[in-house]
């Protein structure tokens, strides 16, 4: 079901300037409903939580009741008690790793990808603290003619599972490659192999930071234990939501909050200190915005509409970058080169060969033209970029253009026109 792009754009004050935001994977713009709720919190309920007086009760409800309730819908969690708020996805997963630490045993093993550091750094550090082993699920090539066309295949993951596998940390969507992992199928394969090998304590953590702006999350259908995303990449404020399955809360996770807080069976045990109260309340504006995109009042329908429009943005950009002329120029997509619902409009590339161009130089060219924001670098997927072959300068990294549903085809054409200029050099 298509939606009215101009109507959607009208709900983002930042877009009125005409600036083209092409770095949405780094952070989207905030919808007006989000902005209004942040202001409303400061004006009408800006007090400490837990007080008995009326404004205190209102503040407590907004932050501890309404916030988790709305966030649970975005995860399709079974209960708001499974939701944690934190300043970032990295912080949420660091707190989760700390909460799981006492439950780790000698010989436990972790399996991670080399992608977004938020969902592998905490596990690497936990493994180092406890003397545990970490295995890397390595990508493989999808196109032999492009050495950077890497993808993750489940058949390369399954052999890494042993009876000692404790944590498997995966990304639902790569913030470099733009490719979507079929999470449900991958998790099913993991659990079947774990059962065969007797890994009865295995738990699965899914990074949805690059997935959440583009597709509907369903932790119950996926059968995962932990899941995280950043609201500030889903048209909301700079805060993160973490899902922790009720079974894990009761059996795996120890509290990292003050000793006198009795929160053993709820996710608040992983929320030390108060989150940004106004940000939690602001985050409740994300769902009303998403539901406004269609007349069906259904988040799944809204995300289907988003995915449909995003393909109209992705197709011309990918067609340009994979054109034989650009291939001869040295342009190489980092990730899959095909278009379809298996990837989002986050496109990374490098320019190699005799007349190679640094990624930084391409972005500088855009900066000189003005009016468009894109970026270069490793985007916190340091290991993935550092291990690409032929070797890249990890700090120069890749050029990344990241679009979302409020971008337009006209904006894509403007981006392409500037790419034509810089590649003609």
Place of tokens 């700090």: 395
Radius of gyration of the chain (CA): 22
Taking residues 85-97, report their average pLDDT.
97
What CA–CA distances, in Å, run from 238 to 61, 271, 373? 20, 16, 19
Tell me the longest C-alpha to C-alpha distance in the chain.
Answer: 71
Cα–Cα distance, 329 to 340 (Å, whole number): 25
Beta strands 109-112 and 133-136: pairing type? parallel
Cα–Cα distance, 115 to 200 (Å, whole number): 26
Q: Just give the CATH number of 39-289.
A: 3.40.640.10
Of the candidates 262, 233, 228, the one whose C-alpha atom is nearest the C-alpha of residue 245 is 228
Give the pLDDT band of residue 257 (cuts 50, 70, 90). Answer: very high
Query: pTM here?
Result: 0.97
pLDDT in tens, 97-128: 999 999 999 999 999 999 999 999 999 999 99
For 159-246, list the strands marked E by DSSP. 165-171, 203-207, 226-230, 240-244
Task: Copy the structure tokens of residue 266.
Answer: 């709820």
| pLDDT above 90 for 238 | yes
pLDDT in tens, 22-62: 999 999 999 999 999 999 999 999 999 999 999 999 999 99
Neighbours of 346 (CB within 10 A): 27
Preceding amide of 330 cis, omega within 30: no
Share of the chain above pLDDT 70, in %: 100
Question: Domain segments of the chain: what residues?
Answer: 5-29+299-423, 39-289
Beta strands 226-230 and 140-141: pairing type? unpaired
Place of tokens 């391409």: 362
Task: Copy the structure tokens of residue 192.
Answer: 């079947």
| pLDDT above 90 for 13 | yes
pLDDT in tens, 138-161: 999 999 999 999 999 999 999 999
- Start-end of H helices in 148-218: 154-157, 183-197
Taking residues 210-221, report their average pLDDT.
98
**CB-CB contact of 37 with 286 (8 Å):** no
Cα–Cα distance, 8 to 157 (Å, whole number): 40
pLDDT for res 1: 60
Task: Copy the structure tokens of residue 104.
Answer: 């780790």
Share of the chain above pLDDT 90, in %: 96
Topology annotation, domain 5-29+299-423: 3.90.1150
The phi and psi torsions of 9 (rounded to 5 degrees) equal -65, -30
Cα–Cα distance, 146 to 150 (Å, whole number): 9
The two counts, helices (H) then strands (E), for the chain are: 17, 15
The phi and psi torsions of 301 (rounded to 5 degrees) equal -65, -40
């Amino acid at each position: 079901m298509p939606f009215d792009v101009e109507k959607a754009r009208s709900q983002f004050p930042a877009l009125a300037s005409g600036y083209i935001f092409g770095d949405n994977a780094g952070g989207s713009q905030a919808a007006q409903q989000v902005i209004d709720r942040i202001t409303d919190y400061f004006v009408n309920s800006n007090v400490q939580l837990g007080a008995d007086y009326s404004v205190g009760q209102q503040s407590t409800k907004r932050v501890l009741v309404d916030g988790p309730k709305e966030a649970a819908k975005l995860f399709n969690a079974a209960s708001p008690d499974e939701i944690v708020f934190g300043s970032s996805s990295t912080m949420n997963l660091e707190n989760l790793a700390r909460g799981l630490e006492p439950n780790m045993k000698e010989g436990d093993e972790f399996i991670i990808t080399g992608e977004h550091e938020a969902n592998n750094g905490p596990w690497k550090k936990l493994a180092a603290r406890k003397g545990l082993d970490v295995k890397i699920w390595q990508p493989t090539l999808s196109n032999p003619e492009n050495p950077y066309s890497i993808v993750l295949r489940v058949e390369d993951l399954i052999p890494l599972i042993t009876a000692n596998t404790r944590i498997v940390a995966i990304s639902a969507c790569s913030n470099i490659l733009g490719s979507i992992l079929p999470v449900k199928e991958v998790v099913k394969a993991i659990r079947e192999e774990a059962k065969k090998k007797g890994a009865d304590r295995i738990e699965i953590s899914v990074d949805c930071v690059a997935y959440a702006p583009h597709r509907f999350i369903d932790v119950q259908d996926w059968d995962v234990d932990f899941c995280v995303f950043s609201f500030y990449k889903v048209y909301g404020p700079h805060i993160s939501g973490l899902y922790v399955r009720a079974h894990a809360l009761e059996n795996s996770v120890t509290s990292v909050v003050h000793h006198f807080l009795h929160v053993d069976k709820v996710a608040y045990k992983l929320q030390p200190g108060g989150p940004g109260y106004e940000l939690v309340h602001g985050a409740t504006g994300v769902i009303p915005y998403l539901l406004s995109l269609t007349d069906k009042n259904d988040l799944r329908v809204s995300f289907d509409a988003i995915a449909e429009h995003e393909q109209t943005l992705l197709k011309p950009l990918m067609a340009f970058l994979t054109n034989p002329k650009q291939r001869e120029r040295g342009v190489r997509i980092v990730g899959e080169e095909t278009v379809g619902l298996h990837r989002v409009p986050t496109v990374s590339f490098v320019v190699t060969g005799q007349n190679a161009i640094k990624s930084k130089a391409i972005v500088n060219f855009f900066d000189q033209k003005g009016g468009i924001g894109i970026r270069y670098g490793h985007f916190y997927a340091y290991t993935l970029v550092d291990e690409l072959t032929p070797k890249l300068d990890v700090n120069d990294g890749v050029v990344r253009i990241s679009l979302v549903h409020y971008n337009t085809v006209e904006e894509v054409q403007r981006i392409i026109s500037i790419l034509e200029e810089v590649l003609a050099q």
